[in-house]
Protein backbone atom coordinates (compact mmCIF):
# COMPACT_ATOMS: atom_id res chain seq x y z
CA UNK A 1 0.00 0.00 0.00
CA UNK A 2 1.37 3.42 -0.96
CA UNK A 3 0.70 6.52 1.09
CA UNK A 4 -1.02 8.14 -1.91
CA UNK A 5 -2.93 5.23 -3.43
CA UNK A 6 -5.83 6.46 -5.53
CA UNK A 7 -4.76 10.11 -5.32
CA UNK A 8 -4.01 12.46 -8.20
CA UNK A 9 -1.05 14.82 -8.13
CA UNK A 10 0.07 17.66 -10.40
CA UNK A 11 3.78 18.48 -10.51
CA UNK A 12 5.13 21.50 -12.37
CA UNK A 13 8.79 21.66 -13.28
CA UNK A 14 8.86 17.88 -13.51
CA UNK A 15 11.32 17.56 -16.39
CA UNK A 16 14.39 18.01 -14.18
CA UNK A 17 15.85 18.14 -10.69
CA UNK A 18 13.57 18.41 -7.66
CA UNK A 19 10.28 18.22 -9.57
CA UNK A 20 11.35 15.12 -11.47
CA UNK A 21 12.41 13.31 -8.29
CA UNK A 22 9.16 14.34 -6.58
CA UNK A 23 7.04 13.08 -9.49
CA UNK A 24 8.77 9.70 -9.38
CA UNK A 25 8.29 9.44 -5.58
CA UNK A 26 4.64 10.54 -5.66
CA UNK A 27 3.95 7.94 -8.33
CA UNK A 28 5.82 5.28 -6.32
CA UNK A 29 3.47 6.09 -3.41
CA UNK A 30 0.49 5.32 -5.65
CA UNK A 31 -0.54 8.72 -7.02
CA UNK A 32 -1.32 9.29 -10.68
CA UNK A 33 0.88 12.25 -11.58
CA UNK A 34 0.20 14.93 -14.16
CA UNK A 35 3.63 16.28 -14.99
CA UNK A 36 4.58 19.39 -16.90
CA UNK A 37 7.53 21.39 -18.15
CA UNK A 38 8.55 23.12 -21.35
CA UNK A 39 10.88 20.38 -22.67
CA UNK A 40 8.94 17.67 -24.47
CA UNK A 41 11.69 14.97 -24.75
CA UNK A 42 12.47 15.16 -21.02
CA UNK A 43 8.77 14.96 -20.22
CA UNK A 44 8.39 11.92 -22.48
CA UNK A 45 11.35 10.21 -20.72
CA UNK A 46 9.76 10.83 -17.32
CA UNK A 47 6.38 9.43 -18.36
CA UNK A 48 8.16 6.38 -19.81
CA UNK A 49 10.07 5.87 -16.54
CA UNK A 50 6.94 6.05 -14.38
CA UNK A 51 4.75 4.25 -16.92
CA UNK A 52 1.72 5.60 -18.75
CA UNK A 53 -0.66 4.08 -16.21
CA UNK A 54 0.88 6.27 -13.53
CA UNK A 55 1.74 9.50 -15.33
CA UNK A 56 0.37 11.94 -17.89
CA UNK A 57 2.66 14.52 -19.47
CA UNK A 58 1.44 17.91 -20.70
CA UNK A 59 4.06 20.21 -22.21
CA UNK A 60 3.78 23.83 -21.12
CA UNK A 61 5.23 27.01 -19.71
CA UNK A 62 3.81 28.02 -16.31
CA UNK A 63 4.34 31.67 -17.19
CA UNK A 64 1.79 31.29 -20.02
CA UNK A 65 -1.75 31.08 -18.60
CA UNK A 66 -3.09 29.33 -21.73
CA UNK A 67 -0.57 26.51 -21.14
CA UNK A 68 -1.89 26.09 -17.60
CA UNK A 69 -5.41 25.89 -19.06
CA UNK A 70 -4.24 23.02 -21.26
CA UNK A 71 -2.67 21.27 -18.28
CA UNK A 72 -5.85 21.44 -16.21
CA UNK A 73 -7.93 20.67 -19.31
CA UNK A 74 -6.07 17.35 -19.50
CA UNK A 75 -6.81 16.65 -15.83
CA UNK A 76 -10.50 17.50 -16.37
CA UNK A 77 -10.73 15.29 -19.47
CA UNK A 78 -9.30 12.37 -17.51
CA UNK A 79 -12.22 12.64 -15.10
CA UNK A 80 -9.85 13.10 -12.18
CA UNK A 81 -9.65 15.77 -9.52
CA UNK A 82 -6.49 16.97 -7.81
CA UNK A 83 -5.40 15.86 -4.33
CA UNK A 84 -1.81 17.11 -4.45
CA UNK A 85 -0.46 20.15 -6.26
CA UNK A 86 3.31 20.61 -6.22
CA UNK A 87 3.91 24.06 -7.75
CA UNK A 88 7.63 23.74 -8.21
CA UNK A 89 8.58 25.12 -11.64
CA UNK A 90 11.01 27.96 -11.44
CA UNK A 91 14.59 29.02 -11.43
CA UNK A 92 16.88 31.97 -11.43
CA UNK A 93 19.93 33.74 -12.71
CA UNK A 94 22.71 35.37 -10.73
CA UNK A 95 22.72 39.17 -11.13
CA UNK A 96 23.93 41.83 -8.77
CA UNK A 97 21.76 44.93 -8.45
CA UNK A 98 23.83 46.93 -10.96
CA UNK A 99 23.34 44.20 -13.60
CA UNK A 100 19.60 43.61 -13.11
CA UNK A 101 17.57 44.16 -16.27
CA UNK A 102 13.85 44.36 -16.92
CA UNK A 103 14.09 41.01 -18.73
CA UNK A 104 15.73 39.39 -15.69
CA UNK A 105 12.96 40.61 -13.38
CA UNK A 106 10.19 39.55 -15.78
CA UNK A 107 11.80 36.15 -16.37
CA UNK A 108 12.33 35.41 -12.67
CA UNK A 109 9.00 36.69 -11.39
CA UNK A 110 7.21 35.37 -14.50
CA UNK A 111 7.91 31.75 -13.59
CA UNK A 112 8.51 31.86 -9.83
CA UNK A 113 5.65 34.18 -8.82
CA UNK A 114 3.17 34.82 -11.64
CA UNK A 115 3.44 31.28 -12.96
CA UNK A 116 3.12 29.77 -9.50
CA UNK A 117 0.16 32.01 -8.64
CA UNK A 118 -1.84 31.02 -11.71
CA UNK A 119 -0.79 27.38 -11.29
CA UNK A 120 -2.62 27.42 -7.97
CA UNK A 121 -5.48 29.74 -8.96
CA UNK A 122 -6.37 27.71 -12.05
CA UNK A 123 -6.28 24.48 -10.04
CA UNK A 124 -8.89 25.71 -7.55
CA UNK A 125 -11.98 24.29 -9.32
CA UNK A 126 -10.26 20.91 -9.60
CA UNK A 127 -8.82 20.65 -6.09
CA UNK A 128 -10.58 18.21 -3.82
CA UNK A 129 -11.49 19.41 -0.34
CA UNK A 130 -8.64 18.24 1.87
CA UNK A 131 -6.07 18.62 -0.91
CA UNK A 132 -2.44 19.51 -0.25
CA UNK A 133 -0.80 22.40 -2.07
CA UNK A 134 2.99 22.53 -1.86
CA UNK A 135 4.95 25.51 -3.15
CA UNK A 136 8.68 25.42 -3.78
CA UNK A 137 10.34 28.26 -1.94
CA UNK A 138 14.02 28.46 -1.14
CA UNK A 139 16.37 29.27 1.69
CA UNK A 140 17.28 32.16 -0.60
CA UNK A 141 13.91 33.69 0.28
CA UNK A 142 15.19 34.44 3.77
CA UNK A 143 18.82 35.09 2.86
CA UNK A 144 20.90 37.77 1.26
CA UNK A 145 23.52 36.07 -0.89
CA UNK A 146 25.09 38.53 -3.31
CA UNK A 147 23.73 38.20 -6.83
CA UNK A 148 20.55 36.50 -5.67
CA UNK A 149 18.44 39.63 -5.05
CA UNK A 150 15.64 39.15 -7.57
CA UNK A 151 15.51 35.37 -7.12
CA UNK A 152 15.43 35.72 -3.32
CA UNK A 153 12.65 38.31 -3.55
CA UNK A 154 10.62 35.97 -5.78
CA UNK A 155 10.96 33.16 -3.24
CA UNK A 156 10.05 35.49 -0.35
CA UNK A 157 6.90 36.27 -2.37
CA UNK A 158 6.14 32.54 -2.62
CA UNK A 159 6.44 32.16 1.14
CA UNK A 160 4.15 35.16 1.62
CA UNK A 161 1.53 33.82 -0.78
CA UNK A 162 1.43 30.51 1.07
CA UNK A 163 0.44 32.28 4.30
CA UNK A 164 -2.50 34.04 2.64
CA UNK A 165 -3.62 30.99 0.69
CA UNK A 166 -3.50 28.76 3.79
CA UNK A 167 -6.09 31.14 5.25
CA UNK A 168 -8.13 31.56 2.09
CA UNK A 169 -8.41 27.80 1.50
CA UNK A 170 -8.82 26.57 5.08
CA UNK A 171 -12.62 26.38 4.77
CA UNK A 172 -12.10 23.61 2.22
CA UNK A 173 -9.52 21.95 4.47
CA UNK A 174 -6.95 22.54 1.74
CA UNK A 175 -3.49 22.80 3.27
CA UNK A 176 -0.91 25.12 1.72
CA UNK A 177 2.73 24.83 2.67
CA UNK A 178 6.02 26.16 1.37
CA UNK A 179 8.87 23.70 1.02
CA UNK A 180 12.20 25.52 1.07
CA UNK A 181 15.24 23.53 -0.01
CA UNK A 182 18.78 24.55 0.73
CA UNK A 183 21.34 23.97 -2.03
CA UNK A 184 20.41 20.82 -3.95
CA UNK A 185 22.54 19.40 -6.72
CA UNK A 186 20.36 19.85 -9.79
CA UNK A 187 20.89 20.94 -13.38
CA UNK A 188 19.17 24.18 -12.37
CA UNK A 189 21.75 24.95 -9.71
CA UNK A 190 24.67 23.97 -11.92
CA UNK A 191 23.22 26.12 -14.70
CA UNK A 192 23.48 29.26 -12.56
CA UNK A 193 27.20 29.35 -13.36
CA UNK A 194 28.56 29.97 -16.88
CA UNK A 195 30.98 27.01 -16.82
CA UNK A 196 31.86 23.87 -14.86
CA UNK A 197 34.67 25.49 -12.89
CA UNK A 198 32.51 28.37 -11.68
CA UNK A 199 29.67 25.94 -10.92
CA UNK A 200 32.04 24.03 -8.63
CA UNK A 201 33.11 27.29 -6.97
CA UNK A 202 29.47 28.33 -6.46
CA UNK A 203 28.61 24.97 -4.90
CA UNK A 204 31.63 25.26 -2.57
CA UNK A 205 30.41 28.68 -1.39
CA UNK A 206 26.88 27.38 -0.82
CA UNK A 207 28.02 24.21 0.97
CA UNK A 208 30.19 26.29 3.29
CA UNK A 209 26.94 27.68 4.74
CA UNK A 210 25.35 24.26 5.30
CA UNK A 211 25.96 22.75 8.76
CA UNK A 212 25.66 19.20 7.37
CA UNK A 213 28.50 20.12 5.01
CA UNK A 214 27.06 18.95 1.72
CA UNK A 215 24.48 19.65 -0.95
CA UNK A 216 21.04 18.09 -0.63
CA UNK A 217 19.90 15.31 -2.92
CA UNK A 218 16.70 15.60 -4.94
CA UNK A 219 15.41 12.42 -3.28
CA UNK A 220 15.65 14.12 0.11
CA UNK A 221 13.43 16.95 -1.10
CA UNK A 222 11.05 14.41 -2.66
CA UNK A 223 10.69 12.68 0.72
CA UNK A 224 9.54 15.97 2.24
CA UNK A 225 7.11 16.47 -0.66
CA UNK A 226 5.56 13.07 0.09
CA UNK A 227 5.25 14.01 3.77
CA UNK A 228 3.43 17.28 2.94
CA UNK A 229 1.32 15.54 0.28
CA UNK A 230 0.17 12.71 2.51
CA UNK A 231 -2.15 12.39 5.51
CA UNK A 232 0.95 12.22 7.72
CA UNK A 233 0.97 16.03 7.61
CA UNK A 234 -2.80 16.42 8.10
CA UNK A 235 -2.36 19.06 10.87
CA UNK A 236 0.30 21.02 9.00
CA UNK A 237 -0.60 24.15 7.06
CA UNK A 238 0.94 27.55 6.43
CA UNK A 239 4.44 26.44 7.36
CA UNK A 240 7.75 26.86 5.64
CA UNK A 241 9.40 23.45 5.80
CA UNK A 242 13.13 23.89 5.40
CA UNK A 243 14.98 20.91 3.97
CA UNK A 244 18.32 22.59 4.05
CA UNK A 245 20.91 20.68 6.05
CA UNK A 246 20.53 23.34 8.72
CA UNK A 247 21.49 26.25 6.43
CA UNK A 248 18.88 28.63 7.86
CA UNK A 249 18.51 26.93 11.25
CA UNK A 250 21.76 27.06 13.18
N1 LIG B 1 18.47 23.32 -6.64
C2 LIG B 1 18.46 24.11 -5.58
O3 LIG B 1 19.48 24.27 -4.90
C4 LIG B 1 17.19 24.80 -5.17
C5 LIG B 1 17.15 25.34 -3.89
C6 LIG B 1 16.00 25.98 -3.48
C7 LIG B 1 14.91 26.07 -4.34
N8 LIG B 1 14.99 25.54 -5.58
C9 LIG B 1 13.80 25.65 -6.43
O10 LIG B 1 13.41 24.34 -6.78
C11 LIG B 1 12.65 24.37 -7.98
C12 LIG B 1 13.21 23.34 -8.94
O13 LIG B 1 14.55 23.71 -9.26
P14 LIG B 1 15.68 22.64 -9.59
O15 LIG B 1 16.85 22.99 -8.77
O16 LIG B 1 15.12 21.28 -9.57
O17 LIG B 1 16.05 23.14 -11.07
P18 LIG B 1 15.96 22.44 -12.51
O19 LIG B 1 16.67 21.15 -12.49
O20 LIG B 1 16.42 23.50 -13.46
O21 LIG B 1 14.41 22.22 -12.69
C22 LIG B 1 13.56 23.29 -12.90
C23 LIG B 1 12.26 22.79 -13.47
O24 LIG B 1 11.35 23.88 -13.60
C25 LIG B 1 10.90 23.88 -14.94
N26 LIG B 1 10.62 25.25 -15.34
C27 LIG B 1 11.39 26.35 -15.17
N28 LIG B 1 10.78 27.43 -15.68
C29 LIG B 1 9.60 26.98 -16.18
C30 LIG B 1 8.53 27.60 -16.84
N31 LIG B 1 8.51 28.91 -17.11
N32 LIG B 1 7.47 26.84 -17.21
C33 LIG B 1 7.45 25.52 -16.94
N34 LIG B 1 8.44 24.88 -16.34
C35 LIG B 1 9.50 25.61 -15.97
C36 LIG B 1 11.97 23.21 -15.77
O37 LIG B 1 11.38 22.58 -16.88
P38 LIG B 1 11.56 23.04 -18.42
O39 LIG B 1 12.92 23.65 -18.55
O40 LIG B 1 11.36 21.76 -19.17
O41 LIG B 1 10.46 24.00 -18.63
C42 LIG B 1 12.45 22.14 -14.81
O43 LIG B 1 11.63 21.00 -14.88
C44 LIG B 1 12.72 25.82 -8.48
O45 LIG B 1 11.57 26.52 -8.10
C46 LIG B 1 13.95 26.37 -7.74
O47 LIG B 1 13.88 27.76 -7.61
C48 LIG B 1 16.12 24.90 -6.01
For residue 133, tell me if it sits in a domain: yes
Q: Which residue in the list 34, 151, 165, 242 is annotated as catalytic?
A: 151
Tell whether the model's pLDDT for residue 1 goes beyond 90.
Answer: no
pLDDT confidence band for 238 (50 / 70 / 90):
very high
- Name beta bridge partners: 85: 10, 133
Active site residue 151: yes
Residue 232 lies inside a defined structural domain of this protein? yes
Taking the centre of ligand 1 as the mean of its atom positions, its distance from the CA of residue 187, in whole angstroms, is 9
Q: Ligand 1 in contact with 31 (CB < 6 A)?
A: no
Query: What mean pLDDT do residues 105-124 have?
Result: 98
Q: Are 81 and 8 in contact (CB under 8 A)?
A: yes
State the pLDDT confidence band at 76, using cuts at 50, 70 and 90. very high
Look at residue 249 and tell me if it is in a domain: no
Instruction: Provide the whole-model pTM.
Output: 0.98
pLDDT of amino acid 83? 98
Residue 229 pLDDT exceeds 90: yes
Atom of ligand 1 nearest to the CA of 185: 1
Q: Is residue 116 one of the residues assigned to a domain?
A: yes
Does residue 3 form part of some domain?
no
Residue 107 has pLDDT above 90, yes or no: yes
> What is the CATH classification number for the domain harbouring 108?
3.40.50.720
Domain count, the chain: 1
Question: Computed over its alpha carbons, how large is the radius of gyration of the chain?
Answer: 17
Residue 1 lies in a domain: no
From residue 189, alpha-carbon distances to 63, 90, 123 in Å are 20, 11, 28
Task: Report the chain's mean pLDDT, rounded to a whole number.
Answer: 97
Domain encompassing residue 173: 8-242
Q: At residue 189, does pLDDT exceed 90?
A: yes
Answer whether residue 209 is part of any domain: yes
Quick one: pLDDT at residue 164?
98
- Whether 206 lines ligand 1, by a CB cut-off of 6 Å, is no
What distance in Å separates the CA atoms of residue 166 and residue 179, rounded to the nearest whole number?
14
For residue 6, the SS3 value is coil
- Calpha distance 147→35 (Å, rounded): 31
Amino acid sequence: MGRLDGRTAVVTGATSGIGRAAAVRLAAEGAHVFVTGRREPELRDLVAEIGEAGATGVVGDVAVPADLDRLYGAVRESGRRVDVLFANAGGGEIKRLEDVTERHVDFTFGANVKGLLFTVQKALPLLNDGASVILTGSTAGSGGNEGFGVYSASKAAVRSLSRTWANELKARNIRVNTLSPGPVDTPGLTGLAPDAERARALKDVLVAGVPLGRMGRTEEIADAVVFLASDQSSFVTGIELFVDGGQRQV
